[in-house]
Amino acid sequence: MDMVQLEEEGIGYRDLSKALVLTEIGPKRDPATLKLFLSNMERLLHAKAHGVRVIGSSTLALCHLASGAADAYYQFGLHCWDLAAATVIIREAGGIVMDTSGGPLDLMSCRVVAAGTREMATLIARALQTINYGRDDEK
Q: What is the pLDDT of residues 51-98, one digit of tens each?
A: 999 999 998 999 999 999 999 999 999 999 999 999 999 999 999 999
Q: How far apart are the first and last CA of the chain?
A: 39
| Residue ranges with strand state E in the chain | 20-23, 51-54, 72-76, 96-98, 111-115
25 in a structural domain: yes
136 in a structural domain: no
Q: What is the CATH number of the domain that holds 105?
A: 3.40.190.80
Does the annotation list 137 as a binding residue?
A: no
Whole-number percent of the chain with pLDDT over 90 = 84
pTM, entire model = 0.88
139 in a structural domain: no
Domain span at residue 58 reads 16-127
Q: What is the DSSP letter of 24?
A: -
pLDDT the model gives residue 15 = 80
65 in a structural domain: yes
pLDDT the model gives residue 106 = 96
| Number of compact structural domains in the chain | 1
